[in-house]
């Protein structure tokens, strides 16, 4: 079976979650999966699978280095793992710096060791729409994409955005994100729910890394509108730069007692199922994996109509989409669902059905086919040398 190196961010964020869930699923299919990153990936902690390996990238601390040289250390580690574990390919999630380090490792492996290890890059979002556009990074992103053996993007929006922003000539395959619909299924969460909403209040839920583009404070603005009509609670899961501002706003708007910040919690089917509505008021979102996991648990989503969200959340069917910042409208959409049980149940069913279209079992073969075709191409290239 193939030996696959997966490079990802290990932190609380969608790209790392996708990479980790992909690796776990590949390992269950018999592939040998090597995670190469600076810390144990967030969703890998509980995994006991003999096909999964974790290689920590060590960062040499030399006084001359005012800044840590992670990209280089990662490239060196990739060379090492590829050589000694016999990797067949490297799958880099998020272009910066992973695709660049992958390229460097590939060149070293070939030129110094005669080993050909293709690099596949999966684009996730801000590596293209935000940070990748920084003048100091943009040339590297473009170069690393053009030198990847295959490039995928998690939404059609992101494919188009990449073409437009970076003017790359290479093919970019759209492989959408996925959800394990067995693990994320509607679950009896009455006990958990009663802890957060003991008097039968409606429950709104938001999960994110609280970066400014997630617009977490907008969830509080939505709550403030909703509680004028009916009792409700807002659960905030995750942590990040805007958590304090979100809490401050809750106090300013007089709704702090209805907001519960849970911090970085494992996102489980039970937690998601405890909610009536999932909120995703992002400024930019290439896909919205958190929304897909909520939908898989039968939770309708109220979100902004930005980026790739409309490819996941169907307006008027599995949730509602509003203009960025239009928290009044988002609150009205919440109330439309919260005050009409039949409507909520219909949306909940459609949300689950929609999530089934992104089931892991449907998407995983797309990555497996891609791996095969990249390796076939490699064999042809090596033979023609």
Where on the chain is the footprint of ligand GMT (CB under 6 A)?
A: 9, 13-16, 18, 124-127, 154, 177, 209, 213, 284-289
Residue position matching structure tokens 């890998």: 44
Cβ closer to ligand GMT: 61 or 136? 136
Look up residue 39 and give its two tokens: 């810390």
Cβ closer to ligand GMT: 43 or 193? 43
Task: With beta carbons less than 8 A apart as the criterion, state whether 243 and 220 touch.
Answer: no
CA–CA dist 366, 218 (Å, integer): 36
Cβ closer to ligand GMT: 91 or 193? 91
Which backbone phi and psi does 282 adopt, to 5 degrees?
-60, 155
Name the minimum Å distance from CB 242 to ligand GMT.
13
Cβ closer to ligand GMT: 122 or 273? 122
Residue position matching structure tokens 């060196």: 76
Cβ closer to ligand GMT: 117 or 303? 303
Name the minimum Å distance from CB 291 to ligand GMT.
8
Cβ closer to ligand GMT: 51 or 284? 284
Kindly report whether the peptide bond that precedes residue 221 is cis, defined as omega within 30 degrees of 0. no
Name the minimum Å distance from CB 373 to ligand GMT.
22
Name the minimum Å distance from CB 214 to ligand GMT.
8
Residues sharing a CB contact under 8 Å with residue 88, sequence separation 6 or more, in sequence order: 2, 3, 4, 117, 371, 375
Name the minimum Å distance from CB 312 to ligand GMT.
9
CA dihedral defined by 11, 17, 18, 20, rounded to 10 degrees?
A: 90
Cβ closer to ligand GMT: 101 or 286? 286
Q: Exposure pattern of 166-188 as b/e (b: 16+ CB <10 Å)?
A: bebebebbbbbbbbbbeebbbbe
Closest chain position to ligand GMT (CB): 125
Name the minimum Å distance from CB 131 to ligand GMT.
8
Crossing angle between the packed helical segments 243-252 and 216-226, to the nearest 10 degrees: 20
Cβ closer to ligand GMT: 31 or 42? 42
Name the minimum Å distance from CB 186 to ligand GMT.
21
Helix (H, G, I), strand (E, B) or coil at 223: helix
Strand partners, 54: 35
CA–CA dist 295, 188 (Å, integer): 15
C-alpha atoms less than 13 angstroms from C-alpha of 271 in its C-beta half-sphere? 17
Name the minimum Å distance from CB 272 to ligand GMT.
15
CA distances from 347 to 276, 287, 351 (A): 11, 20, 6
Cβ closer to ligand GMT: 287 or 320? 287
Name the minimum Å distance from CB 285 to ligand GMT.
4
Cβ closer to ligand GMT: 102 or 238? 238
Look up residue 167 and give its two tokens: 């003017």
CA–CA dist 106, 366 (Å, integer): 23
Name the minimum Å distance from CB 14 to ligand GMT.
3
Q: By C-alpha distance, which of 25, 56, 28 is closest to 41? A: 56
């Amino acid at each position: 079976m193939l030996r696959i190196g997966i490079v990802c961010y290990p932190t609380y964020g969608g790209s790392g979650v996708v990479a980790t869930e992909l690796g776990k699923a590949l390992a269950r299919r018999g592939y040998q999966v090597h995670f190469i990153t600076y810390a144990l990936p967030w969703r890998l902690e509980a995994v006991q699978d003999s096909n999964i390996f974790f290689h920590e990238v060590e960062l040499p601390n030399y006084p001359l280095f005012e800044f840590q040289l992670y990209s280089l250390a990662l490239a060196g580690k990739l060379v090492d793992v590829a050589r000694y574990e016999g990797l067949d390919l490297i799958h880099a999630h998020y272009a910066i710096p992973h695709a660049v380090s992958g390229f460097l490792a590939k060149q070293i492996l070939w030129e110094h060791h005669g080993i050909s290890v293709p690099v596949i890059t999966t684009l996730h979002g801000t590596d293209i729409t935000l940070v990748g556009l920084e003048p100091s990074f943009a040339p590297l992103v473009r170069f690393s994409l053009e030198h990847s053996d295959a490039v995928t993007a998690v939404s059609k929006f992101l494919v188009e955005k990449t073409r437009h922003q970076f003017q790359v000539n290479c093919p970019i395959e759209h492989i959408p994100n996925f959800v394990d619909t067995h693990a994320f299924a509607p679950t009896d969460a009455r006990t958990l729910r009663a802890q957060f909403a003991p008097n039968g209040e409606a429950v709104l839920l938001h999960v994110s890394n609280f970066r400014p583009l997630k617009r977490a404070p907008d969830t509080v603005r939505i709550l403030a509108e909703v509680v004028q009509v009916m009792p409700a609670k807002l659960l905030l899961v995750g942590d990040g730069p805007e958590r304090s501002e979100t809490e401050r706003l809750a106090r300013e708007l007089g709704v702090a007692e209805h907001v519960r910040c849970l911090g970085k919690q494992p996102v489980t089917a039970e937690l998601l199922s405890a909610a009536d509505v999932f909120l995703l008021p992002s400024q930019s979102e290439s896909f919205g994996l958190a929304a897909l996991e909520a939908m898989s648990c039968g939770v309708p989503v109220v979100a902004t109509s930005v980026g790739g969200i409309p490819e996941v959340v169907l307006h008027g069917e599995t949730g509602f989409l509003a203009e960025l910042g239009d928290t009044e409208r988002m609150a009205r959409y919440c109330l439309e669902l919260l005050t009409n049980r039949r409507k909520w149940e219909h949306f909940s069913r459609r949300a689950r059905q929609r999530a089934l279209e992104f089931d892991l079992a449907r998407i995983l073969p797309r990555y497996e086919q891609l791996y095969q075709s990249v390796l076939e191409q490699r064999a042809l290239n090596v033979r023609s040398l």
